[in-house]
Structure 1
Amino acid sequence: MFPDYDFYLIAVPAVLLVGLSKGGMGEALSLMGVPILSMAVSPVQAAALLLPILIAMDMVSLWIWRKHGDRRTLFMLLPSAIAGIAVGWATSAYVPRDALRLIIGLITVTFVLRYVYTVWLSRNGAPIRPKPQRAGPAALWGSLAGYGSFVAHAGGPPFQIYALPLKLEPREYTGTIVRFFAILNAVKLVPYFALGQLDLSNVTISATLFPLAMVATACGAWIVRRMKPQVFYPFMYTMALIAGSKLVWDGLANLLSGS
């Protein structure tokens, strides 16, 4: 049975925000999807409903950004990210998700504040140089991205912490993050099915939102394609700050309330 009109009043803005994010406009918008949809259904069902929608968005994003992406960054991050998903699957019943949200949020906010300080130094003659690819940080942030994506839908900030300092050209950065999370979402299908979070009813409801999801994703990509680097990177760091702040707020509020 399809949900009523009130469900779609809430689901439509949630899907619009996630779609703009999938088009390349930053993880902060995507983090709003589950909380907004949870106003209509349970958080667990909200996450299950969004996963097929995310995969539909991934297909659109992969086509739009098919000519862009940095393979080396993907090769550095993906092995540990997939391992992170496996650990999340194995420990999903035991890990306090709100504590994870709080930790990732605090790390992300600190990361952005450090960037702001570096920008301030650069105005006094200290240049901001791109970071090189590094195996150790890639393993750390990749595993946190995979783990956070599985257990708390918070994989974007760890990816940004590793990838933003590389200072890739904006289209290459966007193509890379699109490929990264498209692969993770496809991998997540197996454990989500195994844990019983996906069923025919949820997938059918998700399918009714596919057209909107695809249009929103295309709109997000249209906007990002027209951003210059001097606009793109401050915007992305701002999105990271909003995402990190929201994770801190959600994690702290839920831990203090005992929910």
Structure 2
Amino acid sequence: MEWDVQVFALAAVAVAFAGVSKGGFGSGAAFASAAILALVMPPGQALGIMLPLLMLIDLATLRPYWRRWDWAAGRLLILGALPGVALGVGLWQVANDDVIRFLIGAIALAFVAWRLAEARGLIRPSLRRLGPGWGLAAGLTAGFTSFVSHAGGPPAAVYLLSGQTDKTTFQATTVLVFWIINIAKAVPYGVLGIFTAETLTANVVLAPFALFGAWAGVKAHFLVPERTFFLLTYLLLSITGAKLIWDALA
């Protein structure tokens, strides 16, 4: 596709938004960036552009949260995520662009529905940490959804937030977990041709926006209420999710 001024501006904002989310708010909403890009380009290209930038953001945010994670919980999520990534590879080999658009859109709307249900008290986080089996299952789901839409944050959050994990431990653990998951995704992305010369060129151009977003996210983690950030996220995901499903079915 051609990169005009509007597409570049949209990509720059989307990438910066991913940096803010991963740098300060637990990675859960970072996949909105891939959903936004999938509105104006093939979903495979959107995912291929975002993965190296997400990996760059991972590196930029590791140091501020170094060793502040919950390793026991993170290890379970990582162990579960690796076969989840393999499932994503299997789906990718048989799915077309419209299937991926539909999945990205459905995951976006499911994320909004889950958070609204939490806000209304229909879903309550467990007061005790869920068992190891739940951690592996959450990791499996996170690995799969991360591969097909960079949307591994919500299932990981369900597990991590059980037992009332504090905000910084939660944030640090998601940084660690998705740093490793994204590394695991990179090899199959290359083999499947999701990375191209065009996506790598876009990475070079958009990298400063990713780093700026990561820096802003770390600062915002200590300054900005989560409610304000996620209200904007819900609106973006509702619009983009519905549009992607419409385009896939049309």
With the shorter chain as reference, the TM-score category is 0.7 to 0.9
Which one of 131, 134, 137 corresponds to residue 134 of structure 2? 137
Tell me the equivalent position of 1:223. Answer: 220
The two structures, once aligned, show a CA RMSD in angstroms of 3.2
Q: Indicate the residue corresponding to 1:124 in structure 2.
A: none
**CA distance, structure 2, for counterparts of residue 103 and residue 5 of structure 1:** 29
* Pair member with larger Rg: 1
User: Is 1:82–1:143's contact at 8 Å kept on the other side of the alignment?
Assistant: yes
What's 2:171 paired with? 174
> What residue is the counterpart of 1:42 in the other structure?
42
- Using the alignment, how far apart are the partners of 1:68 and 1:249 within structure 2? 37
Give aligned-pair identity as a percent. Answer: 24
Match of 1:206 in 2: 203
Aligned to 2:136, the other structure's residue is in SS state helix
Segment of structure 1 superposing worse, 25-34 or 70-79? 25-34
* TM-score normalised by L of structure 1: 0.79
Deviation sequence 1:188-225 (CA, Å, 0-9, x none): 00100010111334212211211221111111111113
The equivalences for 1:1-259 within 5 A come to 3-27=3-27, 29-94=29-94, 96-97=99-100, 98-99=102-103, 102=106, 105-106=109-110, 109-110=113-114, 113-114=117-118, 116-117=120-121, 130-226=127-223, 232=226, 249=242, 252-254=245-247, 257-258=249-250
In structure 2, distance between residues paired with 1:108 and 1:140: 21
Task: State the aligned residue count.
Answer: 245
The answer for unaligned runs of 5 or more in structure 2 is none
Distance 1:213 1:106, change over 3 A: closer
Inter-partner Cα distance in structure 1 for 2:103 and 2:192: 21
Give the unaligned 5+ runs of structure 1. Answer: 122-127
Judge conservation of contact 1:109–1:241 (CA < 8 Å) in 2.
Answer: no
Question: Which amino acid is 1:170 matched to?
Answer: K
TM-score when scaled to structure 2?
Answer: 0.82
Distance of 1:61 and 1:9 partners within structure 2: 24
> Are 2:28 and 2:151, in contact at CA under 8 Å, matched by a contact in 1?
no
Structure 2 distance, partners of 1:205, 1:111, is: 32
Q: Deviations over 1:60-106 (max 9, x none)?
A: 01122214211011112111111100111122233544257536854
- Work out the CA distance in 1 between the residues paired with 2:162 and 2:116: 11
